[in-house]
Amino acid sequence: MGWSCCNSLLPSNSHPLVTTKMSKVLKSSKLPHLYRQQRRELPGAQRASKAKAYHGLKTPPYKLDALEPYMSQKTLEMHWGEHHRGYVEGLNKQLEKDDILYGYTMDELIKVTYNNGNPLPEFNNAAQVWNHDFFWESMQPGGGNMPILGLLRQIEKDFGSFTNFREKFIEAALTLFGSGWVWLVLKRNKKQLAVVKTSNSVNPLVWDDIPIISLDMWEHAYYLDYKNDRGKYTNVFMNHLVSWNAAAARMARAEAFVSLGEPKIPVA
Amino acid sequence: EREREREREIQTEMVATATSTLLTSSLLPCLGLRGSTRSLQWRKKETQCTRKAGPSIITAKFELKPPPYSLNALEPHMSQETLEYHWGKHHRGYVENLNKQIMGTELDGMTLEDIVTVSYNKGDLLPAFNNAAQIWNHDFFWESMKPGGGGKPSGDLLELIDRDFGSFEGFIKELKSVASTQLGSGWAWLAYKANRLDVGNAVNPRPSDEDKKLVVVKSPNAVNPLVWDFSPLLTIDVWEHAYYLDFQNRRGDYISIFMEKLVSWEAVSSRLEMAKTRAVEREREEERRREEEEENTADGEPVEMYLDSSDADASETE
């Protein structure tokens, strides 16, 4: 679980916090399935042309039947195998067309193609690829229960109590009309956790916030298992699927970017 | 006894207003056109005035209208299970929620179409819009299909399709492409566009029959072409709940099956007739109003018309 977490939070290559060592390791061909951007070697005569960056379909950190009975294998097979794969292939096709979006990492690609609210055609595919990667990692077999330690303290600070947060989360999920996502985010400007719902493929990265967990409220996510019973789906997610471990790791990383309290300056 | 009389009065008033709005929009006799008789009946049944005990509150409740065929009639192209959930749960849910939302508000007692246009609020949706529009959309959707549907349209409809899309195949291609590219939840429509500009003194200087055309449009979530002043003729529901049980993610297959096996061209044709007459009626009314205005202002005073902007600029700079 640890390595997949770190990988999904991989910052952009130009980020000052990334050590060259890390990026070298990940660029090596020994770990192609981890590194999301692969330089494909074009055969023979075409080697003279430019190399292109492609994005790959990342597998969830558990087997497709691991979330039974709360999320069936059939759903995972359709949702990951068809929808998520479709977004990846669609994105790759779009990026093939020209080089303008060459070399962007996923996070950057999303922000650029969001274009401040006037999304470019690549936005939908790029954002949905990212969203689904994030979603699979927001769940785990044997998930649910409650967060502990720092994350719990932060939730209690920003929502009053964990129950209150849970209610707000479920309410956002049930009042979302159409397709979309529900998020627990850390808002950078307010330095607070908040529950946010977004439509279609929008995600909090476009507002520069840091997502902590997400719930897919597109109908394809729950229709095979729960038909129209969104309430049941959301409750099952909170009780049995949500991965507070992943959330804690993301929170820990987020604290490197957002100061949530008094800085802990060590006394010599 | 007086109360009962009053109640009857109000009931007949409501029915009368409902039918009168319908009659002004369709000059054709309603007998024989399956589509319009159905909607007449529908209007009468739909708004039911109920008396509550105690202080006299008249509430109008919308009813869940069943599709014009049994729930298994569209097998194997659209399964009974889909109909049971789509109509029995989703559509029913919208009806129940709308009734709860409008109870006691100013929207109570309005027709469904009026609620849709009012709550659209030029894009700044009021809470009742989603439910009201989805009820309208689903009613329209069930009536756009029939068992043993598909095939090709005929008559005026086919002529217009050929004129505006080149060919029937061209139209199918466009509809499929529009329906497949609707991101997220929404609807794909074939609509008759004969709208006026919503501006006081705007007049089409060279009106022609060509301005009235068929268009294929898509809309997100609950939006429908009524709010753009189009006349919808046909719709395909591309919310995932409409096809997920039967086709999972294969939206393209769903749309193809819909066009080949389910679409009811009779319903589309009759809606086209109603739309055309409505457009003609509107034009006549506009002419009438324009003539009235001309009469009123034709008393010698020069009407200030900002036709030539350069004149206005010149006078301003002076």
Tokens 């060459």 locate to A102
Query: Is pLDDT of B239 > 50?
Result: yes
CB contact under 8 A, A83 and B249: yes
> Which of A223, A225, A229, A230 to probe by mutation at the B interface, max B CB count within 10 Å?
A223
- Percent above pLDDT 90 for chain A: 67
Lowest mean pLDDT among A41-50, A86-95, A144-153, B295-304: A41-50
Query: Is pLDDT of A206 > 70?
Result: yes
pLDDT at B270: 94
Q: For A49-194, where are the alpha helices, taking DSSP H only? A: 73-78, 85-97, 106-114, 121-137, 149-159, 162-175
Q: How far is CA B58 from CA A187, B104, B108, in A?
A: 48, 9, 9
- How sure is the predictor about B103, in pLDDT bands with cuts at 50, 70 and 90? confident
**Chain B residues inside the 8 Å CB shell of A122:** none
Name the pTM for this structure.
0.75
Q: How many CB pairs under 8 A join A and B?
A: 52
pLDDT at B280: 86
Q: Is residue B233 part of a domain?
A: yes
- Percent above pLDDT 90 for chain B: 53
pLDDT at A267: 82
Mean pLDDT of A193-215: 95
Is the distance from CB of B308 to CB of B218 less than 8 angstroms?
no
Residues whose CB falls within 8 Å of the CB of residue A14, separated by 6 or more in sequence, listed in order:
none
Is the distance from CB of A150 to CB of A264 less than 8 angstroms?
no
Mean pLDDT of A143-158: 91
* Spatial distance between the Cα atoms of B118 and B140, rounded to a whole number of angstroms: 19
In chain A, which residue's Cα lies nearest the Cα of B130? A177
Full domain range(s) for residue B149: 80-272
- How sure is the predictor about A28, in pLDDT bands with cuts at 50, 70 and 90? very low
Nearest to A178 among B89, B221, B249 (CB): B221
pLDDT at B43: 44
Q: Identify which has the larger pLDDT, A227 or B305.
A: A227
Query: Is pLDDT of A7 > 90?
Result: no
Query: Is pLDDT of A119 > 70?
Result: yes
Helix, strand, coil distribution of chain B in percent, nearest 5: 55, 10, 35
Nearest to B241 among A124, A201, A219 (CB): A219
Mean pLDDT of B95-119: 90
- How sure is the predictor about A241, in pLDDT bands with cuts at 50, 70 and 90? very high
Q: Is residue B169 part of a domain?
A: yes
Look at residues B149, B121, B306, B221 and name the one whose alpha carbon lies nearest to residue A218: B221
Q: Identify which has the larger pLDDT, A180 or B58.
A: A180
Tokens 């476009």 locate to A206
Nearest to B220 among A83, A178, A220 (CB): A178
CB contact under 8 A, A200 and B89: no
Question: A184 phi and psi, to 5 degrees?
Answer: -105, 120
**Chain B residues inside the 8 Å CB shell of A227:** 85, 89, 245
B248 touches chain A (CB under 8 A): yes
Q: Identify which has the larger pLDDT, A26 or B244.
A: B244
Query: Is pLDDT of A97 > 70?
Result: yes
Task: Report strand pairing: A210-216 vs B48-51.
Answer: unpaired
Residues whose CB falls within 8 Å of the CB of residue B276, separated by 6 or more in sequence, listed in order:
B156, B192, B194, B212
For residue A133, give both structure tokens: 């990667």
Query: Length of chain A, please?
Result: 268
CB contact under 8 A, B241 and A223: yes
pLDDT at A231: 95
Is the distance from CB of A190 to CB of A207 less than 8 angstroms?
no
Q: Is residue B263 part of a domain?
A: yes
Look at residues A14, A56, A53, A106 and name the one whose alpha carbon lies nearest to residue A114: A106
Q: How far is CA B93 from CA B89, B131, B147, in A?
A: 6, 9, 25
pLDDT at A259: 86
- How sure is the predictor about B109, in pLDDT bands with cuts at 50, 70 and 90? confident
Q: Is residue B311 part of a domain?
A: no
CB contact under 8 A, B222 and A177: yes
Chain centroid, CA A82 distance in Å: 18
Query: Is pLDDT of A54 > 90?
Result: no
How far B86 CA lies from chain A's nearest CA (Å)?
A: 9
A227 touches chain B (CB under 8 A): yes
- Any idea what the Cα angle at residue A175 is, between residues A171 and A181, rounded to 5°? 85
Query: Is pLDDT of B83 > 90?
Result: yes
CB contact under 8 A, A219 and B93: no
CB contact under 8 A, A228 and B93: yes
Q: Facing residues of B232 across strands?
A: B191
Query: Is pLDDT of A17 > 50?
Result: no
Indicate the number of domains in chain B. 1
CB contact under 8 A, A224 and B221: no
Lowest mean pLDDT among A22-26, A161-165, B50-54: A22-26
* Spatial distance between the Cα atoms of A84 and A91, rounded to a whole number of angstroms: 11
CA atoms B259, B265, B267, B268: torsion sign: positive
pLDDT at A148: 83
Is the distance from CB of B249 to CB of A220 less than 8 angstroms?
yes
Q: Please, is B10 exposed, middle or buried when counting C-beta atoms within 10 Å of its C-beta (0-12, 13-18, 19+)?
A: middle
Mean of per-residue pLDDT scores for chain B: 79
- How sure is the predictor about A53, in pLDDT bands with cuts at 50, 70 and 90? low
Q: Longest Cα pair distance anywhere in chain B, in angstroms?
A: 76
Lowest mean pLDDT among B77-81, B253-257, B286-290: B286-290
How far A220 CA lies from chain B's nearest CA (Å)?
A: 6
Residues whose CB falls within 8 Å of the CB of residue A93, separated by 6 or more in sequence, listed in order:
none
Does the interface ipTM go beyond 0.90? no
In chain B, which residue's Cα lies nearest the Cα of A83? B249
Q: What is the CATH number of the domain that holds B239?
A: 3.55.40.20
**Chain A residues inside the 8 Å CB shell of B244:** 219-220, 223-224
Q: Identify which has the larger pLDDT, B241 or A265.
A: B241
Q: Is residue B249 part of a domain?
A: yes
Query: Is pLDDT of A109 > 90?
Result: yes
* B289-318: pLDDT as tens digits: 878 878 877 665 666 666 665 544 444 444
**Chain A residues inside the 8 Å CB shell of B130:** 177
Nearest to A82 among B220, B245, B249 (CB): B249
* Spatial distance between the Cα atoms of B191 and B227, rounded to a whole number of angstroms: 12
**Chain B residues inside the 8 Å CB shell of A177:** 130, 221-222
* B127-186: pLDDT as tens digits: 999 999 999 999 999 999 999 999 999 898 999 999 999 999 999 999 999 999 999 999
Question: B233 phi and psi, to 5 degrees?
Answer: -115, -35
* Spatial distance between the Cα atoms of B158 and B168, rounded to a whole number of angstroms: 7
Query: Is pLDDT of A169 > 70?
Result: yes
**Chain B residues inside the 8 Å CB shell of A200:** 183-184
B85 touches chain A (CB under 8 A): yes
Q: Is residue B203 part of a domain?
A: yes
Lowest mean pLDDT among A46-55, A184-193, B246-255, B296-305: A46-55
Q: Is residue B164 part of a domain?
A: yes
**Chain A residues inside the 8 Å CB shell of B221:** 177-178
pLDDT at B283: 81
Query: Is pLDDT of B9 > 90?
Result: no
Is the distance from CB of B194 to CB of B275 less than 8 angstroms?
yes
A82 touches chain B (CB under 8 A): yes
Look at residues B302, B241, B294, B277 and name the one whose alpha carbon lies nearest to residue B83: B241
Count the Cβ atoms, other than its own, within 10 Å of residue B50. Answer: 10
Q: Identify which has the larger pLDDT, A38 or B270.
A: B270
pLDDT at A245: 94
- How sure is the predictor about B199, in pLDDT bands with cuts at 50, 70 and 90? low
Mean pLDDT of A159-179: 95
The ranges assigned to domains in chain A are: 73-260
**Chain B residues inside the 8 Å CB shell of A75:** none
Q: Is residue B151 part of a domain?
A: yes
* A244-262: pLDDT as tens digits: 999 999 999 999 998 887 7
Query: Is pLDDT of A14 > 60?
Result: no
- How sure is the predictor about A12, in pLDDT bands with cuts at 50, 70 and 90? very low
A73-260 fold: minor pseudopilin epsh fold (3.55.40)
B180 touches chain A (CB under 8 A): no
